[in-house]
């Protein structure tokens, strides 16, 4: 019986293994990738869009800053009013849905107040069991023009959110996404941890009783 409890405890600890998140500079399209079509003319701390061909999935762009989705030109999220430098933006799907890959392009051009510089990309992902992992962090320098970054994951792993901090850029252009999946009903990491402690405790109590 004690061996059984030990096996359960070990299984509950699988979440300690880090998810595989790969950051690649440049525009590297992935299979099945879709452009995110934004709702033109929207503004506020949260603006939304949907991947082309996947209208049931809603992509949220949130910020502590006021955002704008301009009504003309290519799909992009900018500061509001246009010309306001962006340095805080989070991309996540509504209703707990997740994605496998993402391409972003923090762009600088024609904005005297957009100084560029170091940007930190923080990706929150979960492993194939649906357990959240420690954040994956990548830092790169945003300069004039395009600054494409491709974010991919390993087999069976999912991205919950991608956060861009710093960089002082004009807008986020041509966001693309792939491997969309609806929310999974999985236990929270804290719940799993408490369950593991309880199971181990039961095992020790039963052992003492038998002795």
d(Cα 154, Cα 83) in Å, to the nearest integer?
A: 37
Nearest to 36 by CA among 44, 28, 47: 47
d(Cα 120, Cα 62) in Å, to the nearest integer?
A: 16
Residues 155-162 have a mean pLDDT of: 91
The first and second tokens of residue 168, run together, are 């002082």
pLDDT above 80 (res 39): yes
Q: Would you give the distance in Å from CA 140 to the centre of its chain?
A: 17
- pLDDT for 181 equals 95
d(Cα 196, Cα 200) in Å, to the nearest integer?
A: 6
- pLDDT for 75 equals 85
pLDDT > 90 in the chain, percent: 69
Beta carbons of 137 and 121 less than 8 angstroms apart: yes
- pLDDT for 173 equals 95
R_g of the chain computed on alpha carbons? 21
Query: Parallel, antiparallel, or unpaired for β 117-126 and 158-169?
Result: antiparallel
State pLDDT tens for residues 95-144: 999 999 999 999 999 899 999 999 999 999 999 889 999 999 999 999 99
How sure is the predictor about 18, in pLDDT bands with cuts at 50, 70 and 90?
A: low
pLDDT above 60 (res 11): no
pLDDT > 70 in the chain, percent: 77
Name the residue with tokens 């300069």: 143
How sure is the predictor about 73, in pLDDT bands with cuts at 50, 70 and 90?
A: low
Residues 1-15 have a mean pLDDT of: 37
Which structural domain, as residue segments, surrounds residue 83? 2-210
pTM over 0.95: no
Number of domains in the chain: 1
Nearest to 128 by CA among 177, 178, 176, 184: 184
């Amino acid at each position: 019986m004690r061996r059984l409890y030990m096996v359960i405890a070990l299984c509950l600890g699988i979440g300690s293994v880090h998810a595989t998140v790969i950051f690649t500079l440049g525009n590297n399209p992935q299979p099945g990738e879709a452009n995110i079509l934004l709702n033109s003319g929207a503004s506020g701390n949260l603006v939304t869009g949907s991947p082309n061909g996947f209208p049931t999935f809603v992509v949220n762009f949130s910020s502590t800053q006021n955002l704008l989705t301009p009504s003309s030109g290519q799909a992009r999220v900018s500061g509001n009013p246009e010309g306001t430098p962006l340095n805080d933006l989070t991309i996540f799907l509504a209703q707990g849905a997740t994605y496998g890959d993402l391409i972003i392009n923090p762009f600088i051009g024609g904005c005297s107040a957009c100084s560029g510089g170091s940007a930190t990309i923080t990706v929150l992902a979960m492993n194939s069991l649906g357990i959240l992992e420690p954040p994956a962090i990548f830092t790169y320098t945003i300069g004039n023009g395009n600054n494409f970054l491709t974010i991919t994951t390993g087999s069976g792993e999912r991205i919950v959110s991608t956060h861009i901090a710093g960089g002082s850029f004009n807008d986020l252009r041509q966001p693309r996404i792939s491997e969309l999946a609806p929310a999974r009903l999985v236990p929270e990491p804290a719940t799993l941890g408490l369950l593991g402690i309880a199971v181990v405790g039961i095992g020790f109590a039963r052992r003492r009783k038998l002795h």
